[in-house]
């Protein structure tokens, strides 16, 4: 194959092909940015959800957990933790999360440990709001089952 292709042909494929790919990609990027607000319920990002996302970041939660399948693989998926632990009830989920965060690190021998982050009650509520909002994103029905 390589013998029949000249250097000039190869260079033209490179420039032409890349230009084509870049143009399509830029177009799709604009379209995606248009559509994401609806797919993710952007209008429901309250101050509390935004603050929860910031807490998620500055405590590096993604250094152990996945969220929509991305992050680290040491600890459970959390994009659907509201579905898994929340009993379909936001207040229930918030009290669950308060208790969970306060109990860390669990004393079980040899079990993977989650650090104690010393968050305030309000901060944990913000995190809960962020995780509830995340659980409602239209992500093509991922994950396959409730265990994440």
Give yes or no for residue 103 binding another protein (CB under 8 A): no
Nearer to another protein, 20 or 92 (CB): 20
Among 13, 99, 102, 103, binds another protein (CB under 8 A): 13
Is there a contact between 95 and 101 (Cβ–Cβ < 8 Å)?
A: no
Give min distance, CB of 72 to ligand HEM, in A. Answer: 3
Give min distance, CB of 90 to another protein, in A. Answer: 18
Give yes or no for residue 102 binding another protein (CB under 8 A): no
Give yes or no for residue 33 binding another protein (CB under 8 A): yes
Partner from ligand HEM, another protein, none binding residue 91, C-beta < 5-8 Å depending on class: none
Give min distance, CB of 70 to ligand HEM, in A. Answer: 5
Task: Tell me which residues touch ligand HEM (CB under 6 A).
Answer: 69-70, 72-74
Partner from ligand HEM, another protein, none binding residue 77, C-beta < 5-8 Å depending on class: another protein
Return the residue matching tokens 């308060």: 98
């Amino acid at each position: 194959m390589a013998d029949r292709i000249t250097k000039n042909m190869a260079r033209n494929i490179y420039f032409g092909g890349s230009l084509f790919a870049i143009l399509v990609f830029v177009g799709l990027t604009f379209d995606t940015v248009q559509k994401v607000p609806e797919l993710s319920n952007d209008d429901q990002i309250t101050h509390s959800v935004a603050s929860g996302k910031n807490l998620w970041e500055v405590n590096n939660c993604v250094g152990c957990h996945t969220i929509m399948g991305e992050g680290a693989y040491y600890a459970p998926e959390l994009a659907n933790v509201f579905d898994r632990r929340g009993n379909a009830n936001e207040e229930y989920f918030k009290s669950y999360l308060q208790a969970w965060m306060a109990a860390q690190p669990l004393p079980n021998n040899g079990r993977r440990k989650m650090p104690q982050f010393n968050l305030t009650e309000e901060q944990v509520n913000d995190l809960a709001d962020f995780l509830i909002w995340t659980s409602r994103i239209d992500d093509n029905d991922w994950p396959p089952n409730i265990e994440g």
